[in-house]
Amino acid sequence: MKKFQLLLTAIIAVTLMTSCGGSGKEKAETITGAGATFPQPFYNKIFKNYSSEKGLVVTYGGIGSGGGIRSLKDEIVDFGASDAFLDDKKLAEMPGEVLHIPTCLGAVVAAYNLPGKPELKFTPELMEGVFMGKITKWNDAKITAVNPDIELPDLAITVVHRSDGSGTTFIFSDYMSKVSADWKEIVGTGKSLLWPVGLGAKGNPGVAGTISQTEGAIGYIGSEYAFAQDIPVASLQNLAGNFIKPSVESVSASAKGEIPADTRVSLTNTDAVDGYPISSFTWLIIYKEQDYKNRSLDQAVQTIKLIEWVIGSDAQKETTKVHYAPLPEAAAAKAKAVLSAVTYKGKSLK
């Protein structure tokens, strides 16, 4: 019994000691963000760098774009993260003015599993046909017409899509709605959709796994998953008529057009000549007025410093190493301009 009492006292003492560290938050110790899983590998990497360089812990939780927006709305994070920008209706629902800061670009690719790993070309019409179930065989005349050099097998096409709500689905369906009237009418744009055909799988890893295990499968995944697992991906014909392979350069090129001042822009079906057509920015979202929920000035300053660093060259050069594309200069400049509008108690932080 004595031993047991001693043990209990020790446990209580240790826990009380560790819990006392939390008082007095004048100085920022931790910056917390939550949201999109799509850029999470990139964020995890650069935030770890930042923590070891500046001694400030940055915590990022991949709880999905929707979760990121809700966390910011509930004012419980320093920044949210989302793959889809907030539309005007959603912006109006937020308790304060919200700013979007693009951090990098990512691509959604059509990945497939065919014997011999041929390099396929796809036109928007083929994409519509395959993903809507109009084309059911790999050796369909429509596919062979675009890929005359490749001998395609007499194999059924298995479409794989996400079963959970996701920013990846949003980007993909945003593109499909732009290139296909049928798609827009029947399936539409959104984070989770009613699919005409195919198998559902959970998360990008789930879709990637299902594709690699199913001969004849095709599905859409974030490019980093296809590259990391070495799954073949299709070249896509863009608006200018060129077949573009997804790569750091072609994804970055898709953002070469005009970007609005608030950076809320959809890049899918870009008119850039060498741009990959299913590309998208991913954004950090913050409040313009940083004085909310008892935040200290230091907390606000540190948050802005962090985001400034993310769009700066040190962090941007890490993007390509983890298969994302860096912000083009024009976009980075726009992002800086957005960030300079941030205030604390009405005063500019600049």
Does 330 bind another protein (CB under 8 A)? Our answer is no
**What is the DSSP code (8-state) at residue 20?**
G
Number of residues in contact with another protein under rule CB under 8 A: 48
Does 322 bind another protein (CB under 8 A)? Our answer is yes
In 3D space, the residue among 202, 196, 236, 195 whose CA is nearest the CA of residue 112 turns out to be 236
Dist CA 341 CA 349 (whole Å)? 8
Does 287 bind another protein (CB under 8 A)? Our answer is no
Does 164 bind another protein (CB under 8 A)? Our answer is no
- Max Cα–Cα distance, the chain, nearest Å: 83
Dist CA 204 CA 220 (whole Å)? 9
Dist CA 140 CA 156 (whole Å)? 10
Does 229 bind another protein (CB under 8 A)? Our answer is yes
Does 74 bind another protein (CB under 8 A)? Our answer is yes
Dist CA 185 CA 180 (whole Å)? 9
Among 54, 117, 317, 321, binds another protein (CB under 8 A): 321
Does 19 bind another protein (CB under 8 A)? Our answer is yes
CB of 191 closer than 8 Å to CB of 66: yes
Residue list 22-41, contact with another protein (CB under 8 A)? 22, 29-30, 32, 34, 37, 40-41
Q: How far is the CB of 293 from another protein (least distance, A)?
A: 5
Dist CA 193 CA 121 (whole Å)? 26
Does 75 bind another protein (CB under 8 A)? Our answer is yes
- Helix axis angle for 297-311 and 40-54, nearest 10°, is 120
Does 186 bind another protein (CB under 8 A)? Our answer is no
- Give the footprint of another protein on this chain (CB under 8 A): 1, 4, 11-12, 14-15, 18-19, 21-22, 29-30, 32, 34, 37, 40-42, 44-45, 47-48, 51, 57-63, 71, 74-77, 203-205, 208, 224-225, 228-229, 293-294, 318, 321-322
